[in-house]
Amino acid sequence: MTTPISEPPKGARAVAHDVLMAVDAREAYLQPALEAAAQRSALTPRDRGLTLELSSGTLRHVRKLDTLLDGCIARGLASTQNELRWILRVGAYQLISMDRIPARAAIHEAVELARTRLNDGAARFVNGVLRGVQRQIAAREWKPEALTPAVLHSQPDWLYEQLVATLGEEEALLAAAAVNLPAELTVRTTMADADFVNMLDQSGISGQKARFVPKAWHVSHDTLFRTEAFTRGDFFVQDEAAQLVVHLLDTQRGDNLWDVCAAPGGKSRHILETLAGTGKLLATDDHAGKVARLKDTLSRHENVEVERHDGRTPRNATFDRVLLDAPCSALGTLRRHPEIKWRRRPEDIPLMAAQQQTLLLSVCEAVRPGGVLIYAVCTTTEAEGPEQVRAFLDLRPDFERRPPPEGSIDWKELLDANGDMRVWPHRHGMDGFFAAALRRRD
């Protein structure tokens, strides 16, 4: 049990409700919606933290919450209007998952929000339903252990079935549970370890070295971004899995590289730091807004060219190394983006895989003989990962798998049976990612 706290400030629940309504209407993704709402509402850090927990937690557990609420409404949750459903979900989430908030406070704020946004009748309805939820929990009538795994861990059936097919039933439970936990804040630093630790100590921030990548750190608080070290560009936010992809690329000084789908630029920046002013990087993306952001992100480096380019169009150039971090279903990022599991449909996966194959068959032409192509996706599906590479190698026998580079990374826990990188939140504590290193034969 967590330590009880006083009632959270008013406003956080209303803002969380607005964010969830926007995400549900597909007007925004969760993180941009939270940023915009925080700025509009001038939220305090405390309010902002509560808003984040309410909105992301409710999205993570929405299927389980709906099952609980459905049993407390005579005609079922589906009989209520959408705005009312989100008020009930946020209230129920606090009752079953945030024991540091008194139940009376959670119910009262939900009732008042219903009164303000809807009417007195809606307020009475919310009060009755949430008190019913409270009674079920107190009487131990709510038995989550009796739920199916997909409902318990709030996954669409098709997605959970894919996990079982890939991992087996026992490990699928661990994988489904892991994506409902918030991701750690991970940074990559160019500072010496001792200097980075000293900076953390001076800022009152705790940090821990990541498990696999030498320059990766898990840090405790985003106040890190108000330090002089951040202003100087001494560290950047980058999940450990994304850092591993760049290590797999094995950039050598003097290399000529192409980062095909480069936005927002974290991997490009990592590559440029490895080049240390030598060689050249072409960083491209197909969207004007993303290209503008890329230029801003990479503005401190001179040996980079940023341009708008559709990777499906072949280039009249050859490169030592090409990185294709392809558009994908992004199911490996559910810890950060829980809304994705409710937006994706099973029919999306073969469509994504077809687009990825088109990109692969185009950009591979730009790899020189003896050069390296990295294919990477931040997802966990078979079709977008192992099956994609298997099909590519059948179509392009002039490519072969390349072993990961020896050096600072211990790869043995990170590779699948084919020797490709495949990492999972529940196994490795990072985003779900697949990456294959492919060498063009001489």
Q: What is the DSSP letter of 22?
A: H
Which residues, including other chains, have CB under 8 Å from residue 362's CB and lie 6 or more apart? 311, 312, 313, 314
- By C-alpha distance, which of 222, 236, 231, 226 is closest to 269? 236
SS (H, E, C) 250-276: CCCCCCEEEECCCCCCHHHHHHHHHHC
Pairing of strands 256-259, 319-325: parallel
H or E element in which residue 237 lies: strand 235-237
H or E element in which residue 219 lies: strand 216-219
Catalytic residue among 72, 261, 364, 378: 378
The whole-angstrom separation of Cα 127 and Cα 313 is 58
End-to-end CA distance of the chain: 62
Compute and round to an integer the Cα radius of gyration of the chain.
24
Catalytic annotation present for 378? yes
Encoded tokens for 302 = 């001179």
Strands (E), 252-343: 256-259, 280-285, 304-308, 319-325
Residue 64 Rama label (left phi>0; alpha psi -120 to 50; beta): alpha
Pairing of strands 207-209, 319-325: unpaired
The whole-angstrom separation of Cα 40 and Cα 42 is 6
Catalytic residues, which ones? 378
